[in-house]
Amino acid sequence: MPAEKILIVEDDALISANLEQVLTSLGYIALPPVSSGEEAMQQAISLQPDVILMDIQLAGRMNGIQAAEKIHEVSDIPVIYTTAYADDERLRHAELTGPYGYLVKPVQNRELNATLRMAIYKHSLDRLLKESEARYRALFEQAAEAIVLFDAGTKKILEVNPAFLQLFGYRKDEVSRLSFYDIVADGPNFADNCCDKILAGQSCVLGEQRYRTKNRDILYVEVSSSRIPVMGKDAIFSVIAHDISERKRAENALFIANKKLNLLSSITRHDILNNLTVLLGYLCLIRRKNTDPSLEEYLQRSYGAADLIQKHIEFTKTYQNLGEKVPSWQNVGTIISGLPGNEIPVRADLNNLEIYADPLLGKVFYNLYDNSLRHGKQASEIRVSYALIPDGLFLIWEDNGTGVPEDMKEEIFERGVGKNTGMGLFLVRDILSITDITIAETGDEGSGARFEMRVPKEAFRFLKGL
């Protein structure tokens, strides 16, 4: 490591020469000494020393303290003052320039070396701190999200970034009068609950919240926060708010559109079922009055077509509700226990397994049961189990029926495939896909059907203590 360069600013030639000799003996590079504040400024800029040893009382128009002030306007070179005087007034004046040390003449060699080492070390830390602060300041100022810093005790807002000013409509000089309560739209109790959550953990995601602008408009934002500890004081809270107002408006518009479409669908479905009831009534009357046996087959087919139409209409009612409600945690064992089970017994080994899925999850297992009942033929048992895998879990439904032919394993999940409505397994796959659960048939033909539902690791859990 190269030796540090020291600039001596001293108007006493004898003291200057002695300091130069001592510095050299201690392993430093003593730059050519100067005797005035003006020279000190010039040499500091041109030579860029690591430390300046500055005599406070200099000859000329500028003393050492004034010279240090001028140097610090263009450079952050650390200054150590040397003086024969140590009065309080002089010390107070010197402290305003942020010196890295204060040596009283005559300077002792050991004290000089210790002060230099500490000044060089402290300055290196200060430089790292300034660089870090500059980086974080740039992130703070240039962030696209609104950032708010406020006092944990008083809730008074301490600082905001330009994105906050633009999003909330405040001027910078207005922020000092604001508190966290002024920007939270749902009242002080809600704001206090948010602060309690921040205190409970070093950082947390508060989720979607409603904030209020200067013009009293409501902003929908996604909020994350953290607690910044401060020694001997109340902590500072930081809140980062990402504006999702446009997304919320789009969601509301989509909700209204879906509501209208569902209403139209419901009315249409009701009218079709009413007309279907009339059709079935006429078919019944025709059958009673029919005396021609050759027409019976056509009547039976008509009944079959009407029954199929009714099942399709009922399916549209179920499919209409898909994804309408928020997914939730559901106990698979509880759902399985609600299946009929009187024709084929169902054995479940699930250890209080819950999965995160659409509220229509019950339809998944009902349709799987119906599939085993209709297509398993000689199936006499259904088993539901699970197997852990590195990235999640397999939820397995298997029967001991005839199984699924190899060329039909993917096709059975398509709409319209099957002997009944052809909608059952199609609906199963769509319901599961809401929360990224996939399903595949992996059994061997002749040994029974086996459906493996792959559940992501964040979408399953086991309840304890039940």
Same domain (yes/no): 115, 187: no
Rounded to the nearest integer, the mean pLDDT of the chain is 86
In which residue ranges of the chain is pLDDT below 50? none
Show which of 243, 262, 283 is a domain's final residue: 243
Residues 345 and 306 in one domain: no
Listed residues 302, 320, 338: the one ending a domain: 320
Domain around 277 = 249-320
Structurally, the chain folds into a number of domains equal to: 4
User: Do 345 and 443 have their domain in common?
Assistant: yes
The answer to whether 31 touches 12, Cβ cutoff 8 Å, is: no
Helices 361-375 & 424-433 angle (0-180, nearest 10): 150
Q: Are residues 226 and 279 in the same domain?
A: no
d(CA 269, CA 273): 6
- In this predicted structure, what is the pLDDT of residue 252? 81
Report the first-to-last Cα separation within the chain, whole angstroms. Answer: 66
pLDDT at position 30: 93
| pLDDT given at position 167 | 93
Q: What 3-state class would DSSP assign to 246?
A: helix
pLDDT digits (tens, 9 = 90+) for 177-235: 999 999 999 998 988 888 888 877 656 667 888 999 999 999 999 988 888 877 656 67
CATH number at residue 219: 3.30.450.20
**Same domain, yes or no: 183 and 303:** no
The CA distance from 162 to 164, in Å, is 5
Q: What's the confidence (pLDDT) of residue 383?
A: 94
DSSP 446: T
Establish how many alpha carbons lie within 13 A of residue 6's alpha carbon, considering only the half-sphere containing its beta carbon: 27
